[in-house]
């Protein structure tokens, strides 16, 4: 399975032109889960909101309605105050969609992304850190949600995603010469599950996707190692929770 996304901020308008709904079971959707999604920045440029979406829709029986390879149509609304932008997009549960959307030409106090079907909806909201006028500081370019920002992410970018059962997982995108990401595969929840509460007696290799290798550590943490690059270097990221929060680079 191959899926391509941009890793430099883009306007989502250019991405949605070909987003034709391919599933029709929206009447069965009773819950939309956006817990894997994030608004990563709304202060980098006036009116610009950036982040990524991971959408899991379930029916009344708790089954995932948009499993891998079966995108479901959603209405995506980006809003701040009275300003909004609405798009129609089809997403499967393991899709990760980085977005950049302009909601005007001034810095905004907050931003909300709402994902909905005819009978279900969910939203995420962030309060924006507006730069002080005349402060002379420029907001730094944010991460788009990859857990290994600056640690081998020009080789493989690793993101929180979900597996076919809706459980948290890690997705891997290979970055090509045009700075585009090509979906390579994922580390499913079942790899992590035996070690979430019971660390191994020795550091254990759990699998490899693309140029990214996953390990369970005796510390109770997990580790992804990306590389080697053209110079033979490898890059390490360590984390303790799934979905990943607070990943870090260990000291040499």
* CA–centroid distance for 81 within its chain: 25
Tell me: pLDDT of 105 over 50: yes
Whole-model pTM: value is 0.53
Band of pLDDT at residue 130, cut at 50, 70 and 90: low
For residue 68, give both structure tokens: 């891998």
pLDDT for position 14: 33
pLDDT at position 155 is 93
Domains along the chain with CATH numbers = 4-127 (2.60.40.1930), 156-239 (no CATH)
pLDDT above 70: residue 27:
no
pLDDT range class, residue 16, cuts 50, 70, 90:
very low
Going by pLDDT thresholds of 50, 70 and 90, the confidence category of residue 67 is very high
CA separation (Å) from 69 to 23, 25, 66? 11, 15, 8
Has residue 91 got a pLDDT over 80? yes
Ordered alpha helix ranges (H), the chain: 189-192
| Per-residue model confidence as pLDDT tens digits over 162-178 | 777 778 889 898 888 77
Whether pLDDT at 197 is above 70: yes
Nearest to 145 by CA among 8, 37, 5, 12: 37
Across residues 80-96, what is the average pLDDT? 90
| Res. 134: pLDDT tops 60 | no
Rounded to the nearest 5 degrees, what angle is found at the Cα of 250, between the Cα atoms of 37 and 252? 155
Cβ 111 vs Cβ 125: under 8 Å:
yes
């Amino acid at each position: 399975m191959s899926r391509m996304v941009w890793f430099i901020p883009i306007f989502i308008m250019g991405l949605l032109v070909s987003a034709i709904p391919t599933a029709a079971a929206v009447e069965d959707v009773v819950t939309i889960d956006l817990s894997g999604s994030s608004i990563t920045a709304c202060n980098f440029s006036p009116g610009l909101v950036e982040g990524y979406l991971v959408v899991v829709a379930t029916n009344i029986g708790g089954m995932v309605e948009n499993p891998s390879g079966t995108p479901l149509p959603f209405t995506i609304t980006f809003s701040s105050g009275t300003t909004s932008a609405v798009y129609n997009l089809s997403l499967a549960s393991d899709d990760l969609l980085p977005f950049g959307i302009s909601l005007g030409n001034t810095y905004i106090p907050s931003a909300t992304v709402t994902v909905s079907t005819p009978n279900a909806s969910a939203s995420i909201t962030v309060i924006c850190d507006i730069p002080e006028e005349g402060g002379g500081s420029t907001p730094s370019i944010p991460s788009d949600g990859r857990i290994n920002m600056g640690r081998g992410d020009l080789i493989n970018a690793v993101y929180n995603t979900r597996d076919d059962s809706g459980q948290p997982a890690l997705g891997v995108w290979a970055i090509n010469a045009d700075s585009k990401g090509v979906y390579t595969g994922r580390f499913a929840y079942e790899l992590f599950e035996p070690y979430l509460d019971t660390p191994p007696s020795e550091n254990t290799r759990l699998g490899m996707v693309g140029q990214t290798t996953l390990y369970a550590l005796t510390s109770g943490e997990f580790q992804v190692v990306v590389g080697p690059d053209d110079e033979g270097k490898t890059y390490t990221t360590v984390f303790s929770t799934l979905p990943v929060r607070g990943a870090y680079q260990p000291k040499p």
